[in-house]
Amino acid sequence: MVRETNLTVDDLIYPMFVMSGEGQKVEIPSMPGCYRYSLDLLLKEIAEVSQVGINAIALFPVIPEHQKDETGTESYNPEGLVQTAVKAIKKAVPEIIIITDVALDPFTTHGHDGLVDENGSVLNDPTVEILAKMALSQAHAGADFVAPSDMMDGRVGAIRQALDNQGYINVGILAYSAKYASAYYGPFRDALDSAPKFGDKKTYQMDAGNSKEALKEVELDIAEGADIVMVKPALAYLDIIHQVKQNTNLPVAAYNVSGEYAMIKAAAANGWIDEKKVILESLISMKRAGADLILTYFAKEVALMLM
């Protein structure tokens, strides 16, 4: 009766992986219980997910090597995997909110989120132009929200302008505003085969030691037109979630990332922790810190627990 914080299924956004082909459901080794689905099976899974009360999914594509190139041109192919999937999901499960990922790393041979020059430096502004094209193609397919996850400067403003110019005034932007260059993303990069082939992401993602910078990044994204701001990862950054919440009236999301998921699954598989209790305690801590929404690979499990 006097509990201050509650976790409900309405708080959850379920990240899901789509791949090409038919009749395929392949478990991700470092993320037990998470799968790459071909579109036909993904549609079935989304119907189930919706039935257990989840309102929204975040969609990530697994792009085959032969469709990758230096500049990620496949990312804005109107008939690409994501665009095709969005159209099919909208038809099959119209009530589910679709959030599409706007970043180049699944589409580039080098695995970086941006264009790379001859010295291996990631180029901000030319990348932003491609991100705007990619977001437009996703909006055109029917995405409800686009979610720039790359941390290039100025991308939220460029995407907002591109969407508005083409009449997509109702497509929202979920901005990965304070995204840290984190080792917790390892299992996700396995899932997508998207680990960077050289260097790291520290020139565009944030340093774990910084919190004022997070507030600055959030402020910029809001000024540029973000509708929801996100902190990522979640558990090691609860203080950042808290500070961001204090500094904005926009909804704040937290991304309970792949490494956080993998650690709980691994310990539970060894019988070292009580999996269900640790999941719920982790997610409630994110809400208590200030998250209004949580992207989590536990979404379906938690929805079933809360039923």
* Sole binder of ligand PBG in the list 105, 144, 217, 224 (CB under 6 A): 105
Cα dist from 199 to 1, 103, 107, 121, 184, whole Å: 51, 17, 17, 9, 17
Residue 207 DSSP symbol? P
Per CB under 6 A, does 298 bind ligand PBG?
Answer: no
| Choice between 125 and 200, CB closer to ligand PBG | 200
Residue 179 designated active-site: yes
Q: Both tokens of residue 245?
A: 């919440």
User: What's the CA gap between 276 and 303, in Å, rounded?
Assistant: 12
| Smallest distance from ligand PBG to CB 23, Å | 26
Output 105 or 144, the one with its CB closest to ligand PBG: 105
CB of 35 to ligand PBG, least distance (A): 14
Task: State yes or no: residue 100 binds ligand PBG (CB under 6 A).
Answer: no
Helices 275-289 + 258-269 axis angle, to 10: 150
Binding of ligand PBG at residue 149 (CB under 6 A)? yes
Instruction: Fill in the amino acid letter for 216.
Output: K
Q: Which of residues 164-193 bind ligand PBG (CB under 6 A)?
A: 185, 188-189
Indicate whether 257 belongs to the interface with ligand PBG (CB under 6 A). yes
Listed in sequence order, the residues at least 6 apart from 286 whose beta carbon sits closer than 8 Å to its beta carbon are 234, 235, 238, 241, 254, 256, 294
What letters, b where the CB count within 10 A reaches 16 and e where it falls short, cover 141-152?
bbbbbbbbbbbb
Question: What is the C-alpha to C-alpha distance for residues 225 and 222, in angstroms, rounded to an integer?
Answer: 5
Cα distance between residue 26 and residue 41, in whole Å: 11
Kindly state the number of chain residues that form the binding site for ligand PBG, as judged by CB under 6 A. 12
Q: Which one of 179, 201, 245, 300 is the catalytic residue?
A: 179
| Residue 62 near ligand PBG by CB under 6 A | no
Q: Helix or strand or coil: residue 276?
A: helix
**Cβ proximity to ligand PBG, 38 vs 205, nearer residue:** 205
Residues 26-55 that bind ligand PBG (CB under 6 A): none
Please pick, among 201, 232, 287, 300, the residue that the annotation labels catalytic.
Answer: 232
146 near ligand PBG, judged by CB under 6 A = no
Q: Is residue 215 a contact point for ligand PBG (CB under 6 A)?
A: no
Instruction: Specify the residue for token string 């990965």.
Output: 176
Q: What are phi and psi of 137, to 5 degrees?
A: -65, -35
**Binding of ligand PBG by 217 (CB under 6 A):** no
> Does 232 qualify as catalytic in the annotation?
yes
Q: Taking CB under 6 A as the rule, does residue 103 contact ligand PBG?
A: yes
Q: Which residues are identified as catalytic?
A: 179, 232
Footprint of ligand PBG (CB under 6 A): 101, 103, 105, 113, 149-150, 185, 188-189, 201, 257-258
